[in-house]
Amino acid sequence: MPEKWFDNIRIQLNPGLVAIIGNKGSGKSALTDIIALCADSTNQNWAFLTSAKFRMPKPYNRSKQTEAYIQWVDNSSSAIKTLDMSTEATKPERVKYIPQNFLETLCTTEDDQKFESELKKIIFQYLAPAQRYGFNDLDEIINYLTKENADACSDIQSRIREINREIIAMEAMRTPAYRDTLANELAYKQSQLSNVQSAKPKEVTKPSVDEDPEAKKIQEEIDKLNESCKMMEISLQALGSEKEEKVKTIQDLKASKERIERLTLQIEAVKQELRLLYEKNNLDIDSVLNVTYIPDLISSKLKELSERVEEIDNQLNEDKSESLRKQYLLESEKLNLAKQKLSTPELEYQKYLKEKQEWEKLLEDITGTPEKEGSIKYLQSRINYIEHNLNKELSQKIEKREVLVKDLMQKKHQVLETYETLFAPVVKFIDDYHEELKDYPIEFDSTFSLRNFGDRFFDFVSQQASGSYYGKEQGQARLKSNIDSVDMSDILSIVAFANLINCDLLYDKRDDNNDFRSVENQLKKGHTQQELYDFIYCMDYVHPFFQLKMNGKPLSSLSPGERGALLLLLYLFIDMDDKPLIIDQPEENLDNESVYRYLVHFIKAAKRKRQIIMVTHNPNLAVVCDADQIIQMKIDKLHGNEVSFVSGAIENPIMNKIIVDILEGTYPAFHNRDCKYFDKTI
């Protein structure tokens, strides 16, 4: 490599506060990137070691030809690394690195989850070993403590989905289209009935056979055969109904058997999971939980039912000589042969009887029963149900769903209680140091948050369909207003929010019209009402949230400067870690007031318990923070990008001049530092 860059540079670092200064492009961030790389920092948001800078592959990759290592105060050393390498994830992190671009992202991003992730890392440090349950981060502990809660929530959600299905079916009955369909079908059936009634077969008088003994004998035989066939028809119909009922019962029992087998396997799996724990505590899991499953009882009943179905099939099989169906066909054949012996008037009368029987059967089919789908009585029953019972039963279903949703939210609230228990140590720390923090009021608050509800909601609902959420801007404004109205600390308010969204879908709230709207007609293609209702009421968008507030304002309401101040407070004061802390340009996202109100105070506090390496463009910050060591970095671009440095305490005359030159007239700050060490009155 024709360039010089880092040519046998060795920099000794003070264990207190080290301030790295220099002009832009002088290698300040290069130094911190290299330290973080050799110390296996998990944060690899490099400023210098990037493919656009020192790791640029062309014309040659400088990073592949440059090596670095760290020697620690105990004389141990890190592995020698070329600067193209990555940190080793399997090795312990030896420094905490906060690059400027990482800090800026946390200060300006609208996604609070990254900020929350950093907060959780700090909170984890405050947990006693017994509170960590053998895990290495806060999320793992939360998942461990809330596993059973999550399973309980899943069970409640399954019941909510089922009742949503029932509610959707009932709501469909309330639509004008459904009622019109029933009314039209009823009118058609009544018209059909009227037509059939008017087509009643013309009555034929029964011929007298009293004076003809032979004819009388034939008529008696026919009457007897008619009665026999009629009884067989009734029996065949009963067998058909019994078979239908038995077949359904068999299927239901088979499904129940599979369900019980799954439950038994789940119970056995839980027992095996708990067995070792119980044995360690001198408990017998089989004595604690003993479930007896006797599948033979179900199998015996299934065999009995199946045999009965087989018997019915045999009775309905005309190919079997002893079957009822075969007997009926033979009896019908006898009846037809007997009729052939009748005189013409008697044949006409028999024909009339058959037509009358068919006509009465047709009337019976059209009139039907409340259970016979498509019949007049069925349609009348449905209309009567809609007019007198539907709203009451629908209200009961909705109330039942609301109870389930409240139960679900109570379960979610238990997670908040878990959060409060885990975060109690850091809350206590803040309370214990309330005097030191009186000018930096921060507090923790457990609550819920609605995450991504708007985006998910409009994945289902079309804003081009007539309804409360019609129109992109108007619909989003209405939804935002609804979301803003929720008191996230109140379970009832969250449940009411779900009901409000549903009400907006059922009734068009634009211009206070409250016109009924079909939810189905407001859905985007490819989505169902079941999916939408499950989304609204299963509450997966409601997340337990333990938020950090500053000056009474939640994280989402803080300005980038306030977020930066809060982050630095966390890293510099609340963070219990004693690893060296490297911060690149901490003042970058702060205004002047925040620099001197927050940053200076907490840097002074932090350097008493850990080594601080701070990159700054403002040497004045190094002065007012009482830096124990100043390092000025330089890159000589005229001589092969040779990197050099000057290092010393602030009191060092060389450093005096460097700082004063860079400060360009801000000497009073330096003078104040000078007065702390030398009494000018002597």
CATH code, domain carrying 32: 3.40.50.300
Are the beta carbons of 417 and 409 closer than 8 angstroms? no
Give the largest CA-CA distance in the chain. Answer: 160
Query: What value does the mean pLDDT of the chain take?
Result: 89
Q: What is the pLDDT of residue 158?
A: 96
- The answer to whether residue 101 scores a pLDDT higher than 50 is yes
Enumerate the β-bridge partners of residue 516.
507
Q: Are residues 298 and 198 in the same domain?
A: yes
Q: Are residues 493 and 630 in the same domain?
A: no
Q: What is the pLDDT of residue 446?
A: 82
Chain centroid offset of residue 294 CA: 38
Q: Are residues 254 and 324 in the same domain?
A: yes
Task: Report the alpha-carbon distance of residue 394 to residue 164 in Å, rounded.
Answer: 11
SS3 state of residue 445: strand
Helix axes 390-432, 376-388, angle to 10 degrees: 40
Are the beta carbons of 160 and 168 closer than 8 angstroms? no
Task: Report the alpha-carbon distance of residue 654 to residue 632 in Å, rounded.
Answer: 11
SS3 state of residue 357: helix
Q: What is the pLDDT of residue 602?
A: 83
Residue-wise burial string across 92-126, b where 16 or more C-beta atoms lie within 10 A, e elsewhere: ebbbbbbbbebbbebbeeeebeebeebbbebbbeb
pLDDT digits 0-9 by tens, 309-327: 999 999 999 999 999 999 9
In a domain, 132, yes or no: no
Q: Are residues 332 and 372 in the same domain?
A: yes
pLDDT digits 0-9 by tens, 184-223: 999 999 999 999 999 999 999 888 877 788 888 888 898 8
- The answer to whether residue 677 scores a pLDDT higher than 50 is no
Are the beta carbons of 352 and 201 closer than 8 angstroms? yes
Q: Are residues 541 and 584 in the same domain?
A: no
Task: Report the alpha-carbon distance of residue 343 to residue 207 in Å, rounded.
Answer: 10
Least confident residue range of 505-514, 515-524, 563-572:
563-572
Domain boundary among 348, 367, 390: 390
Task: Read off the pLDDT band of 123 (50, 70, 90).
Answer: confident
Q: Are residues 260 and 408 in the same domain?
A: no
74's tokens: 């105990």
Question: Which of 93, 68, 94 has its CA nearest to residue 82?
Answer: 68
Q: What is the pLDDT of residue 672?
A: 53
Q: What is the pLDDT of residue 549?
A: 80
Q: What is the pLDDT of residue 678?
A: 38
Are the beta carbons of 383 and 241 closer than 8 angstroms? no
Domain boundary among 481, 516, 550: 550
Q: Are residues 365 and 382 in the same domain?
A: yes
Task: Report the alpha-carbon distance of residue 470 to residue 454 in Å, rounded.
Answer: 14
Residue type, position 367, single letter:
T
Q: Dihedrals φ, ψ of 630, to 5°?
A: -115, 130
Q: What is the pLDDT of residue 575?
A: 83
Q: Are residues 362 and 492 in the same domain?
A: no
Query: How far separated are the first and last CA of the chain, in Å rounded?
Result: 57
Q: Are residues 345 and 219 in the same domain?
A: yes
Task: Read off the pLDDT band of 617 (50, 70, 90).
Answer: confident
Task: Report the alpha-carbon distance of residue 153 to residue 175 in Å, rounded.
Answer: 33
- The answer to whether residue 622 scores a pLDDT higher than 90 is no
In a domain, 227, yes or no: yes
**Other Cβ atoms closer than 10 A to 52:** 6
Task: Read off the pLDDT band of 673 (50, 70, 90).
Answer: very low
CA-atom Rg of the chain in angstroms: 43
Region of residue 19 (left: phi > 0; alpha: psi -120 to 50; beta: else) = beta
pLDDT digits 0-9 by tens, 255-277: 999 999 999 999 999 999 999 99
Task: Report the alpha-carbon distance of residue 655 to residue 663 in Å, rounded.
Answer: 12
Q: What is the pLDDT of residue 563?
A: 78
Q: Are residues 372 and 399 in the same domain?
A: no
DSSP state of 571: I
In a domain, 64, yes or no: yes
Percent of the chain with pLDDT over 70: 96
Enumerate the β-bridge partners of residue 629.
18
Q: Are residues 101 and 142 in the same domain?
A: no
pLDDT digits 0-9 by tens, 151-165: 999 999 999 999 999
Chain centroid offset of residue 26 CA: 48
Q: Is the model more confident about 209 or about 527? A: 527
In a domain, 90, yes or no: yes
Task: Report the alpha-carbon distance of residue 153 to residue 415 in Å, rounded.
Answer: 11
In a domain, 171, yes or no: no
Domain boundary among 341, 359, 390: 390
Region of residue 524 (left: phi > 0; alpha: psi -120 to 50; beta: else) = beta
**Lookup result for tokens 């095996």:** 272
Enumerate the β-bridge partners of residue 613.
18, 582
Q: Are residues 424 and 331 in the same domain?
A: no
Handedness of CA 91, 94, 98, 99 (dihedral sign): negative
In a domain, 196, yes or no: yes
Region of residue 452 (left: phi > 0; alpha: psi -120 to 50; beta: else) = left
CB under 8 Å to 23, separation ≥6 — which residues?
none
Using a 10 angstrom Cβ sphere, with 0-12 exposed, 13-18 middle and 19 or more buried, the burial of residue 516 is: exposed
SS3 state of residue 331: helix
Task: Read off the pLDDT band of 680 (50, 70, 90).
Answer: very low
Least confident residue range of 138-142, 328-332, 435-439, 492-496:
435-439
Strand order in the sheet with 553-554: 442-450, 542-550, 553-554
Q: What is the pLDDT of residue 109?
A: 65
Q: What is the pLDDT of residue 1?
A: 72
Across 52-78, average pLDDT: 92
DSSP assignment of 62-83 equals: GGGG-EE--B-TTS-BPPPEET
**Number of folded domains that form the chain:** 3
Most confident stretch, 101-110, 417-426, 459-468, 568-577: 459-468
Using a 10 angstrom Cβ sphere, with 0-12 exposed, 13-18 middle and 19 or more buried, the burial of residue 590 is: buried
- The answer to whether residue 30 scores a pLDDT higher than 70 is yes
Q: What domain range includes position 416?
A: 138-162+392-550
SS3 state of residue 675: helix
In a domain, 489, yes or no: yes
**Other Cβ atoms closer than 10 A to 180:** 10
In a domain, 65, yes or no: yes
Are the beta carbons of 610 and 578 closer than 8 angstroms? yes
Residues 340/345/348/350 CA torsion (nearest 10 deg): -60
DSSP state of 489: T
